[in-house]
């Protein structure tokens, strides 16, 4: 890809990685609409390192506290001795499902599941699930019951949200979308669900990015243009991703996810119409 495409896709990745609208879907859809080549699953995984950096910077204090307490707990023989240490181990446990399913279905994720039919159905399907989750939250608040904060997240929530995260392997579902939806079903507040979603993404995004860098090292190093393009896209995604995190966390303090639900429904339906009319190729 040229530098213009790299910048555009970097912006798209940064904007959509943390909003519950699926970065993978947009990195697949926008090139298709623009007549560009599909950047591929490897590009998607590598450029996510930029948004990983955004999470590390935004949650720097939280992450350093978690790492420090995990190490201290291991050295003192009290691995779950503090809330931060417990959070670290819960994040590790919650990462296991996506690693297992990612390895089992690696070929399908990189090929057949990138069909725009799959992506459009995933966009619509998760929108419907998120609608049900929001309805559950509304009923709970209507009965005068509160929602759980980050401090109240336990092993059940961590493991079930981790299992939900594995659904994000299907392009179009959205990592933040499925984990926030899972959090809402488990009675987490919208902000707590989003914060845990971002922290939970760290191990899997890092592992996927490093793996794809290794797998595609020959292609990346074969041309200075290839390397420059991926570096530009990653840097742009980091800057835009940081702003996207700040926006979403502030937005969810006072709003529901309705606007994202509507967007997913409209986008998914629009893609199906374009596919049916032959205006857009499925692969």
Quote the pLDDT of residue 74. 93
Higher pLDDT, 11 or 209: 11
pLDDT digits (tens, 9 = 90+) for 133-182: 999 999 999 998 889 998 899 999 999 999 999 998 898 888 899 999 99
Task: Give this prediction's pTM.
Answer: 0.87
CB atoms within 10 A of CB 37: 9
Q: From CA 179, how far away is CA 195, in angstroms rounded?
A: 10
Per the domain annotation, does 91 fall within a domain?
Answer: yes
Q: How much is the average pLDDT of 8-17? A: 91
Q: How much is the average pLDDT of 266-283? A: 87
160-199 as b/e, with b when 16 or more CB fall inside 10 Å?
A: bbbbbbbbbbbbbbbbbbbbbbbbbbbbbbbbbbbbbbbb
> What phi and psi, each to the nearest 5 degrees, are found at residue 80?
-115, 30
Quote the pLDDT of residue 181. 95
Q: Which of 41, 6, 13 is nearest to 170 (CA)?
A: 41
Per the domain annotation, does 281 fall within a domain?
Answer: no
Per the domain annotation, does 69 fall within a domain?
Answer: yes
- pLDDT-derived band at 71 (thresholds 50, 70, 90) equals very high
| pLDDT value at 264 more than 90 | yes
Per the domain annotation, does 178 fall within a domain?
Answer: yes
Q: Which tokens hold the place of 248?
A: 């979403």
Per the domain annotation, does 283 fall within a domain?
Answer: no
Per the domain annotation, does 280 fall within a domain?
Answer: no
With a CB cutoff of 8 Å and minimum separation 6, the contacts of 26 are 12, 13, 15, 16
Q: Which tokens hold the place of 69?
A: 């307490």
Q: Which helix (H) or strand (E) holds 46?
A: helix 40-58
Per the domain annotation, does 216 fall within a domain?
Answer: yes
* CB contact at 8 A, 4 and 14: no
- For residue 101, give the DSSP letter: H
Per the domain annotation, does 282 fall within a domain?
Answer: no
Q: Which of 24, 3, 20 is nearest to 12 (CA)?
A: 24
Cα 242 from chain centroid (whole Å): 14
Q: From CA 281, how far away is CA 283, in angstroms rounded?
A: 6
Angle between helices 40-58 and 190-215 (to 10 degrees): 130
pLDDT digits (tens, 9 = 90+) for 25-65: 888 888 888 888 878 777 777 888 888 899 899 999 999 99
Q: From CA 67, how far away is CA 223, in angstroms rounded?
A: 37
Q: How much is the average pLDDT of 11-37? A: 87
Structural domain range at position 258: 3-275
CB atoms within 10 A of CB 113: 20
Quote the pLDDT of residue 171. 86
Quote the pLDDT of residue 106. 83
Count up the domains in the chain and report the number.
1
Among residues of the chain, what percentage have pLDDT more than 70? 99
């Amino acid at each position: 890809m040229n530098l213009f495409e790299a910048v555009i896709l970097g912006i798209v990745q940064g904007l959509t990685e943390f909003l519950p609208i699926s970065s993978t879907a947009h990195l697949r859809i926008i090139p298709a609409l623009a007549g560009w080549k599909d950047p591929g699953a490897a590009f998607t995984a590598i450029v996510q390192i930029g948004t990983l950096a955004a999470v590390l910077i935004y949650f720097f204090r939280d992450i350093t506290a978690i790492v420090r307490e995990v190490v201290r707990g291991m050295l003192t023989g009290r691995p779950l001795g503090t809330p931060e240490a417990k959070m670290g181990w819960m994040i590790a446990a919650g990462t296991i499902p996506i690693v297992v399913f990612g390895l089992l279905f690696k070929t399908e994720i990189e090929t057949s599941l990138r069909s725009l039919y799959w992506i459009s159905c995933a966009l619509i399907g998760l929108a419907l699930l998120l609608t049900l989750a929001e309805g559950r939250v509304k009923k709970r608040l209507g009965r005068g019951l509160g929602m759980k904060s980050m401090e109240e997240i336990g092993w059940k929530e961590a493991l079930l949200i981790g299992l939900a995260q594995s659904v994000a392997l299907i392009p179009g579902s959205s990592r933040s979308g499925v984990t926030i939806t899972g959090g809402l079903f488990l009675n987490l507040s919208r902000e707590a669900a989003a914060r845990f979603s971002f922290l939970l993404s760290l191990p899997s995004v890092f592992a996927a990015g490093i793996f794809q860098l290794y797998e595609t090292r020959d292609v990346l190093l074969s041309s200075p243009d290839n390397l420059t393009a991926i570096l530009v896209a990653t840097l742009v995604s980091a800057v835009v991703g940081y702003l996207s995190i700040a926006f979403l966390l502030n937005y969810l303090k006072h709003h529901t996810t309705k606007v994202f639900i509507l967007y997913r429904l409209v986008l998914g339906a629009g893609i199906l119409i374009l596919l049916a009319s032959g205006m857009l190729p499925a692969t």
